[in-house]
Structure 1
Amino acid sequence: MHKQARLKSYLDADCLSDSLDQTVVCDLPARQEIKRILIIKWGGMGDIVMSTAAIEDIHQAFPQAVLHLNTLPAWQSLFADDPRFERIWCLNLQQTSGRWRIYRQWLAEVAAMQYDLIIDLQTNDKSRLLLSLLRLSGRAPRWLLGNHARFPYTVRQIHALPQAHSFQILQQTLITAGIPALTTGPTLAVSAAAQTAAQQLLSQHGLTSQPFAVFLCGSHAGMATKRWGAEHYAALVAHCIARGERVVLLGGQDEAETCQQIASRHPAQVVNLCGQTSLLAVPAICARAQYIVANDTGTAHLAATTPTPMVVLCGPTNPLRVKPVGAQVVALQLDLPCKNCYAKQCSHHSCMRQLTPAQVFPYLPEVKRHHA
């Protein structure tokens, strides 16, 4: 028998450093000529949601400027009612067929808009390539900001944070350009329509007057090693039922099978809404929950935009870098030698299989019957 691994918990105080470098390389908000700004952010859902804190700081620093957002088509709905943006435009830069045609389209679009400042919150090989091509063609604005101290950026980072939480990498990027990093968590504009849709779903299932928990039990199919598994979540459901709570399952297409397996064990007490909500209905539902239990998945970051307490279960990914931001969020991880491997496949999956429901129980908040 192997000795049971120690369970470690992580809060914001463990994951976010309070010693960000405050060196300002260029005070961009003082530049009166900056009237039109493009923000680039593609990435996964968690990265997109986390970037909204930086977006809010940019919005506050340039109150008279027009903001445009370039993101992926999958995330357009997250910003459909966001008053901070005059325009949101999307190209599928992830597809491989016709890649260079799309790149040319992107370059033409950016050049035509004649931006005064481009803030690259993506800062990966693809965004650097596109901005390099833009700059080499002579069609780039004077000010290009990213988190790398090299070409094509004209506002250069002095200190890199290669091991930092991605939230603080975004903050450091802004500070370098003289943009105060004051927003402490993601900020989304959840429309009235999303709020109404969430309320209707909860009413339909009799959840407006009953305490309920939300489980985000899936993950992207390409990283299934992040999943705790239907067996564990089903056991957690039984614990919730014993406490007088019902459980709502949320997720997308990749999580449908896992959610169905869990719901089939407790059909009377589990409401399976997987695939039945818009993205912005997720935080609207989570805001009404007692608490949330989630894998390390993009939807957890979406749910963390609410004040609802959340427990995030990590195994192959490092909580110090992936934990959703918020004082109401605690991340749990077994202290195993193979943790933080980021493997997409694993023969033993010890980091998640050995994390038992009994170890999670103590981190669930006490039931509060606050629903009218």
Structure 2
Amino acid sequence: MAHPANLTAFVTEPDQSYLRIAIVRFSALGDVVMVSAAVRALQRSLPAAQITWITSPPAYALLKGMEGVQFEVMEKPRSLADYLAFYRAFRHRPFDVVLAMQANLRINLLYPALHAPIKIGFDRIRAREGQWLFCNRRIPYNDSHLVDSFLSFIETLTGDPAAATWDLPVDNIDMDWAREQLAALPKPWVALHPYASKVERNWKPERYAAVVGEAVARWGCGVLLTGGNAPAEISQCEQLSRLAPANVLNLCGQTTPKQLAALLSQVDVLVAPDTGSVHIARAMGTPVVGLYAVASPQLTGPYRQLEYCVDRYPQAVEKYLGKDVRQLPWNTRVHHADAMSLIEVADVMRQLEKILGQPG
């Protein structure tokens, strides 16, 4: 079938059944959650489109069961053999549109393997490591939250406004499991996910310990510890769990992505630095006390629910970069080991009080 030259006409023809749309986003888990909001917007705008999402096994562990989406699951390429296998896999798989939602060299080299007349990538400012060479359409530049940048792909394709909803595919088995885990903990339930994959985003362990102690003393709350299986992460959670054994449940390194989402849907609040659990909790409707100093929560915080975040990014920019935050590009990070130290225990406790109320 011949395709219209005009992009809007391309997606507004009466028969949309032939529209084959490939989405490329492998990782990280928080980014995948944000992209899932754009996929839901795409489904609302083009309900008859055939959507293929190319992603990695860790992401699929959360996304499995997402209705109306075919997944192609593979590891990110690391060798020439991996690239050759990818090119062979898609050699006879034509698409009408590719949404190139990841921009780094390892992924950019995959885009020529995906045969489509329209390939939409990031704007020239955000099209890192030459992504613009492999795409023939771009989303407009906007200094906005990452969720909005992913929604912009849908708006560029369809010409319609796109709004974020998630509806992550977490089933009753995972929800029942989460309730069973939490049943013995006293309420309210406070989740801590204290470790980010990038060390510069991590808050001081002794300050997390102080939060646990003060939260248990003030509210008699149950504290859920979550995280991955990195040795440093597990060690930190083990140390925190010893502070109040009757009040702390340590599930660090013991959950699947779906189980984590189920747990975060049940708790009253999550305290976490800039990491994927923030976006999972946001998707599940749970308030987040996000800890931000390396990057702005306006860029990577819980989408449109920033009222409980502790934002020390402006102070970090001034102190460690010697600049005014209003004069910086959208994606500036404060790569300094002491940036997160600007967040005090009292900052976190004030935000928890807004959610949990005054101690009885």
Q: Same fold (TM over 0.5)?
A: yes
How much does 1:179 deviate?
Answer: 4.9
- Equivalent of 1:43 in 7, 13, 27: 27
Cα distance in 2 between the residues matched to 1:146 and 1:290 = 38
How much does 1:127 deviate?
Answer: 3.4
> Hey, what does 2:270 align to over in structure 1?
292
How much does 1:27 deviate?
Answer: 4.3
Q: Is 1:84 aligned to residue 68 of structure 2?
A: yes
| 239-248 vs 119-128, greater mean Cα deviation | 119-128
Cα distance in 1 between the residues matched to 2:300 and 2:137 = 27
How much does 1:323 deviate?
Answer: 0.9
Determine helix, strand or coil for the equivalent of 1:63: coil
1:179 to 1:214, Cα distance in 2 relative to 1, 3 A: farther
- Equivalent of 1:225 in 200, 211, 222: 200
Structure 2 segments unaligned to the other structure (5+ residues): 1-5, 125-131, 322-331
Tell me which protein shows more helix as a share of its residues: 2
> Hey, what does 1:355 align to over in structure 2?
343
Determine helix, strand or coil for the equivalent of 2:109: helix
How much does 1:121 deviate?
Answer: 1.5
How much does 1:277 deviate?
Answer: 1.5
The aligned runs of 1:268-347 (5 Å cut-off) are: 268-327=246-305, 330-334=308-312, 335-336=315-316, 337-338=319-320, 341-343=333-335, 346=336
> Hey, what does 1:249 align to over in structure 2?
225
> Hey, what does 2:215 align to over in structure 1?
240
How much does 1:56 deviate?
Answer: 0.5
Structure 1 segments unaligned to the other structure (5+ residues): 1-23
> Hey, what does 1:29 align to over in structure 2?
11
1:270 to 1:115, Cα distance in 2 relative to 1, 3 A: same
How much does 1:70 deviate?
Answer: 0.5
1:29 to 1:316, Cα distance in 2 relative to 1, 3 A: same
Cα distance in 2 between the residues matched to 1:181 and 1:100 = 40
Cα distance in 2 between the residues matched to 1:174 and 1:82 = 18
How much does 1:66 deviate?
Answer: 2.0
1:293 to 1:65, Cα distance in 2 relative to 1, 3 A: same
Amino acid at match of 2:344: T
Contact 2:310 2:347 in 1 (8 A): no
**Residues 263-301 of structure 1: per-residue CA shift (max 9 Å, x gap):** 122222111111121111222212221211111111221
Determine helix, strand or coil for the equivalent of 1:48: helix
1:66 to 1:366, Cα distance in 2 relative to 1, 3 A: closer
**Residues 105-148 of structure 1: per-residue CA shift (max 9 Å, x gap):** 2122223222222222113333332223x37xxxx122222224
Q: Is 1:171 aligned to residue 171 of structure 2?
A: no
Determine helix, strand or coil for the equivalent of 1:46: helix
Give the TM-score normalised by structure 1.
0.80
Q: Is 1:147 aligned to residue 122 of structure 2?
A: yes
Contact 2:201 2:274 in 1 (8 A): yes
How much does 1:194 deviate?
Answer: 1.4
Amino acid at match of 2:34: M
Cα distance in 1 between the residues matched to 2:175 and 2:245 = 26
Q: Is 1:367 aligned to residue 350 of structure 2?
A: no
1:128 to 1:366, Cα distance in 2 relative to 1, 3 A: closer
How much does 1:231 deviate?
Answer: 0.8
Q: Is 1:160 aligned to residue 141 of structure 2?
A: yes
Determine helix, strand or coil for the equivalent of 1:43: coil
Determine helix, strand or coil for the equivalent of 2:8: coil
Cα distance in 2 between the residues matched to 1:314 and 1:58 = 30
- Equivalent of 1:124 in 104, 119, 133: 104
How much does 1:185 deviate?
Answer: 4.3
Determine helix, strand or coil for the equivalent of 2:53: strand
| 276-285 vs 117-126, greater mean Cα deviation | 117-126
Q: Is 1:75 aligned to residue 59 of structure 2?
A: yes
Cα distance in 1 between the residues matched to 2:176 and 2:59 = 20
Identity %: 22
Contact 1:229 1:258 in 2 (8 A): no
- Equivalent of 2:94 in 93, 108, 114: 114
Cα distance in 1 between the residues matched to 2:273 and 2:355 = 21
1:328 to 1:291, Cα distance in 2 relative to 1, 3 A: farther
1:227 to 1:304, Cα distance in 2 relative to 1, 3 A: same
Cα RMSD for the two superposed structures: 2.4
Relative contact order: is structure 1 or structure 2 higher (C-alpha 8 Å, sep ≥ 6)?
1
Contact 1:145 1:156 in 2 (8 A): yes
> Hey, what does 1:196 align to over in structure 2?
176
1:329 to 1:43, Cα distance in 2 relative to 1, 3 A: farther
> Hey, what does 1:102 align to over in structure 2?
82
Q: Is 1:266 aligned to residue 231 of structure 2?
A: no
Cα distance in 1 between the residues matched to 2:165 and 2:67 = 18
Contact 1:120 1:127 in 2 (8 A): no
Contact 1:308 1:328 in 2 (8 A): no
1:251 to 1:174, Cα distance in 2 relative to 1, 3 A: same
1:119 to 1:294, Cα distance in 2 relative to 1, 3 A: same
Count of residue pairs the alignment pairs up: 326
Determine helix, strand or coil for the equivalent of 1:111: coil
1:176 to 1:36, Cα distance in 2 relative to 1, 3 A: closer
How much does 1:155 deviate?
Answer: 3.1
How much does 1:328 deviate?
Answer: 6.3
Determine helix, strand or coil for the equivalent of 1:312: strand
Cα distance in 1 between the residues matched to 2:162 and 2:141 = 20
